[in-house]
Amino acid sequence: MTLHRGFTLWFTGLSGAGKTTLASRVATELRARGLRVEILDGDEVRTNLSKGLGFSKEDRDTNIRRIGYVCRLLSRNGVVAISAAISPYRDVRREVREAIERDGADFIEIYVKCPLEVLAQRDVKGLYKKALAGEIPNFTGVSDPYEEPLAPEVLVETDRESVETSAARIIAELERRGLVPTATAELESEQEALVDC
Residue 125 pLDDT > 90: no
* Separation CA 184–CA 171 (nearest Å): 13
CATH of 7-196, one of 3.40.630.30, 3.30.200.20, 3.40.50.2300, 3.40.50.300: 3.40.50.300
Q: Which residues contact 35 (CB under 8 A, 6 or more apart)?
A: 4, 80, 180
Residue 54: pLDDT band (50, 70, 90) is confident
Q: Which of 45, 52, 89 is nearest to 66 (CA)?
A: 45
What's the pLDDT at 89?
A: 96
Q: Which of 36, 26, 39 is nearest to 174 (CA)?
A: 26
Q: What does each C-alpha distance from 176 to 9, 153, 180, 181 come to in angstroms?
A: 15, 12, 9, 10
From the candidates 50, 75, 83, 87, give the one annotated as an active-site residue.
Answer: 87
What's the pLDDT at 196?
A: 55
* Separation CA 133–CA 1 (nearest Å): 51
Q: Residues 149-154: what's their mean pLDDT? A: 97
87 is catalytic: yes
Residue 184: pLDDT band (50, 70, 90) is low
Q: What does each C-alpha distance from 127 to 11, 114, 115, 140, 148 come to in angstroms?
A: 21, 16, 15, 11, 21
Residue 53: pLDDT band (50, 70, 90) is confident
Average pLDDT score, the chain = 89
> Looking at residue 12, what DSSP letter applies?
E
Domain borders along the chain are 7-196
Residue 1: pLDDT band (50, 70, 90) is very low
List strand residue ranges (DSSP E) for the chain, in order: 7-12, 37-41, 80-84, 106-113, 154-157
Max intra-chain CA distance, the chain: 66
Annotated binding site: 13-20
- Alpha-helix residue ranges (DSSP H) falling in 103-182: 116-122, 127-132, 163-176
What's the pLDDT at 3?
A: 54
Q: Partners of 82 in the beta sheet? A: 9, 39
Q: Residues 38-51: what's their mean pLDDT? A: 79
- Could you tell me the pTM of the whole model? 0.88
